[in-house]
Structure 1
Amino acid sequence: MANPPSRTPMAGGFLLAVSLLAGTIIGAGRGEASIGFVAGLGVGLVLLVAVWLIDRTRTR
């Protein structure tokens, strides 16, 4: 019997971490680090969910 090919899931945590850092740095440059952090969190979560949905559709 042939073994099915192993499939590793995609990870979106990197995108979340990068967007948090970028949002904080951009926000600090504008004098509003907290708002930049929250904006980065929002963008990161959207990207994270997008990666999760794409990965979920690939498995089917």
Structure 2
Amino acid sequence: MTNARKEPIGAGAILALTILGGTIVGGLMGQPSAGLLGGTALGIVIAVLLWVRDRGK
């Protein structure tokens, strides 16, 4: 039998897209810095959730 090892899921692209999206949405609302921080926070939460899910397997 072979040991099928699943590769970990990377969250770098998700983090980058949430930061960029947050900045754009914040800019449209007149608060690009707040959007940047919100996008960063959301990206970190998603990355941690993916890490926890991947770690449990």
Fold shared, TM-score > 0.5 on shorter chain: yes
Identity of aligned residues (%): 33
Q: Kindly report which structure 2 residues correspond to 1:36-51, keeping only aligned pairs within 5 A, or say none.
A: 36-51=35-50
Aligned-CA RMSD value = 1.0
- Flag the structure with larger Rg: 1
- Can you give the 5+ residue segments of structure 2 that lack an aligned partner in the other structure? none
**Paired positions, count:** 57
- Can you give the 5+ residue segments of structure 1 that lack an aligned partner in the other structure? none
Q: TM-score, normalised by structure 1?
A: 0.86
Aligned residue for 2:51, secondary structure, equals: helix
Q: TM-score, normalised by structure 2?
A: 0.90
In structure 1, the partner of 2:34 is 35
